[in-house]
Structure 1
């Protein structure tokens, strides 16, 4: 075991959350979920997964730490939907800061560590669950080294793809986080394999597939009947390069020649919004930008879509695909590894060649022209969702890892 391993003499009975007497009395570990969002708002797939985990675990097993913004200088405790929620900024000093700024940053760091240590003890936390690789997670890694908690890191998206492009300082920070976590998981098998190849660590990455509650069951929503040319196709996701919205817009120029009334709607916001709008105008494609919507509005828009498109260049898993499956929408996605894992081409969805707008437009027109095939895609998509992607399966997977981490079974080598 390494320097951050726990020894019984370091944690006397009844002391901090890992080895106290209260731990032995609880069958399920008490977990601090750490993520940068404001509960219960859902602005993306990672937010949705964290909310699902919280609600499934319940207030007795889960506490939330919201990583706040610049103005959140004090540690604030509140209660939301019965959950204990803490909020504070966790900032790291910039390498370009002046000497007096660095002094203040060090003082704030000491105060933050003290507050987090008291939080862990007060809430009797066994496991700290970190979501996506972020610099601020080093605070919890340091507390783990001091024997105050054990950390699980879950990779949700392309953290693995850009590691070598990061600054040397950030690479070293991420190495420390990966090396000193008690376990690392990923939201799909393909992302787990990619992480093991590309990230500098010796751990095995466990795959725990994302799962969600059934929107159709929870809200009574039912996917609308196919509207044909008078309906719309839908893309959901941040307006960033990896989501591939530019591919969908380019493809829609070809689709529009055969289906001139069929609209492409894009839900989301991001840094590429201006360039994507310009691309749509120049191509004369029938495209509408919906902006960022509340989650309830996203589901309503999805339920009414004739087609759901996911033209991503890379993804962790893609929660929007699961929502489309649950609402029986015909799905067309790029053939990147994670979507090959989710979708059986021609059975519960269609796959097109990633990055190829012509392949996407051809697949869209094939689905639109074959009523029987489209109906089969819709029925099979919901059946696959119910079989493999319910929240209960995801929560069971994480609970197993939490227990292993609490007991020490998820060792440095095993992850």
Structure 2
């Protein structure tokens, strides 16, 4: 069995959502193939990566064996298309982890090899351009990270309702190793924005805090940063020491900092902007926070919910995107309508003021991750979908 995997990035952007999924797919297919005695080789094509030796790729991704071939194109889509046009792969299956690579898959695949394409979210919640429609027409299976993503894709692109599809919920990536406890102290930093907050000095009880993690780009204003900052004065009136921690960076950050400054929240430390921080610090921050809140309307899945849940933190998400498939309202967290600022404030205050409730939700959240949302669970879902599509190639002991 040979699989050609086409991805935007694999090695050079390890923490983005799409490269994280690409890495998990490779690791998990290798793991399950070994367990089931299915001979499996990979060719990997990465659009944006620089050149890397196959052994380096294996080490960075966490593979036992190097891919048979690793092709990288430094961001040249035309170069990737030209390479696919010059050669015909001998793979049994071609798998793209972004629908923008569909045209490459159609050029590369052998005549009878199926094409599988992964749907992530916002990239497919619009009428697709001709190039991507052409790439999708040859697909034998669409795998979506959530039912929400698949439904939105079909709403905007009804012509593809007849293409076989499968929902494969994501799993908590081993790249972040978020199920392993870490020290309770963050890396020291002299910046005032990272000093310990009210109620954390001299052995006092930790301050109540909410955390949001995600890119802060103008095109991703739907994540809920502005809404959280807007309600924070109301939250502070009932919980005076409460703090909002914002992790992530992007071009929209100055706007949110200005919003917090106008409300008197920035200089007081009531809202702290951390920027991008190392994984170890992020894991520690998850474990120290009281609540994770990302009341978005545009999450195709939301791996950050799993990271918080793995740390035993109850989450607040939106009813208007895929968060509702991850967070079970009243069981592992709370859900609100996007834009309902009063409802958002009530949810945060409920968890801030009811310790038994948030402890119960936090324990259930971690249990839900362990039961359904590890990387191994994701791998099993992917394997089952591919084996159903191409049973001969994935048969145990297949040559």
Q: Is the 8 A contact 2:178 2:311 kept in 1?
A: no
Q: Is the 8 A contact 1:216 1:327 kept in 2?
A: no
Q: Deviations over 1:121-167 (max 9, x none)?
A: 4xxx3222212332x431222223x6284321111122232x23xxx
2:94 to 105, 109, 128: 128
The answer for the alignment partner of 1:184 in structure 2 is 142
Q: Is the 8 A contact 2:48 2:76 kept in 1?
A: no
Distance 1:110 1:328, change over 3 A: closer
Give the structure-1-normalised TM-score.
0.75
Q: Deviations over 1:359-413 (max 9, x none)?
A: 211211111111111111111111111122122222122112223444599xxxx
Q: Is the 8 A contact 2:10 2:23 kept in 1?
A: no
The answer for the alignment partner of 1:88 in structure 2 is 73
The answer for the alignment partner of 1:260 in structure 2 is 240
1:113 to 78, 84, 104: 84
The answer for the alignment partner of 1:56 in structure 2 is 28
C-alpha distance in structure 2 between counterparts of 1:217 and 1:91, whole Å: 34
C-alpha distance in structure 1 between counterparts of 2:184 and 2:316, whole Å: 16
Paired residue total? 349
Q: How does 1:162-241 map to 2 (within 5 A)?
A: 163-164=126-127, 171-199=129-157, 200-201=159-160, 202-213=162-173, 219-221=180-182, 230-239=207-216, 240-241=220-221
Q: Is the 8 A contact 2:4 2:93 kept in 1?
A: yes
Segments of 5+ residues of structure 1 without an aligned counterpart are 1-28, 93-104, 165-169, 410-415
Segments of 5+ residues of structure 2 without an aligned counterpart are 32-39, 60-64, 186-198, 394-399
Q: How does 1:318-337 map to 2 (within 5 A)?
A: 318-337=302-321
2:116 to 147, 152, 155: 152
The answer for the alignment partner of 1:18 in structure 2 is none
Q: Is the 8 A contact 2:102 2:117 kept in 1?
A: no
Q: Is the 8 A contact 1:63 1:83 kept in 2?
A: no
Distance 1:38 1:49, change over 3 A: closer
Distance 1:362 1:223, change over 3 A: farther
Give the drift of 1:329.
0.7
Q: Is the 8 A contact 2:6 2:105 kept in 1?
A: no
Give the structure-2-normalised TM-score.
0.78
Output the aligned Cα RMSD: 3.0
Distance 1:155 1:294, change over 3 A: farther
